[in-house]
């Protein structure tokens, strides 16, 4: 993975998840059982597209990406999403499940770098 692809994937992931969360939290009632599933599937699709775009990742890069993207998305949501949606989103479980789904998606769906055998 190059620094350019990592940076572009980070910016793309932040912006796509931000727009998606604003759309889902503001316009849909997520208190039922269908819409939180749609919310989680949307996070899977968006995260998978950005992680696959980052290129081939080894295990160390996946761990660094998990930490980096999780911290940045939490910070981005706190700074910008709460200004639009409000602090009430932190009281709902689907919001926190979205972070778990994002981390699980990064771990499972990244392009694996081949192992060197000697």
Domain boundaries, the chain: 3-112
Q: How confident is residue 29, by pLDDT bands cut at 50, 70 and 90? A: confident
Query: For 83-109, how does the pLDDT look when each residue is reduced to its tens digit (9 = 90+)?
Result: 999 998 899 899 999 999 999 999 999
Average predicted confidence (pLDDT) for the chain: 90
pTM: 0.88
CA distance 101 to 84: 23
Query: For 60-85, how does the pLDDT look when each residue is reduced to its tens digit (9 = 90+)?
Result: 888 998 999 999 999 999 999 999 99
Q: In the predicted model, is pLDDT for residue 118 greater than 70?
A: no
CA separation, residue 118 to residues 65, 112, 115 (Å) = 27, 18, 10
């Amino acid at each position: 993975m190059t620094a350019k692809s990592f940076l572009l994937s980070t910016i793309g992931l932040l912006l796509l998840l931000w727009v998606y969360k604003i759309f889902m939290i503001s316009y849909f009632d997520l208190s039922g059982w269908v819409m939180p599933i749609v919310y989680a599937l949307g996070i899977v699709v968006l995260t998978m597209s950005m992680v696959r775009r980052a290129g081939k990742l080894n295990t160390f890069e996946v761990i660094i990406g998990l930490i980096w993207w999780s911290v940045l998305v939490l910070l981005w949501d706190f700074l910008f999403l709460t200004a639009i949606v409000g602090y009430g989103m932190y009281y709902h479980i689907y919001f926190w499940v979205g972070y778990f789904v994002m981390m699980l998606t990064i771990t499972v769906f990244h392009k694996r770098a081949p192992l060197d055998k000697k």
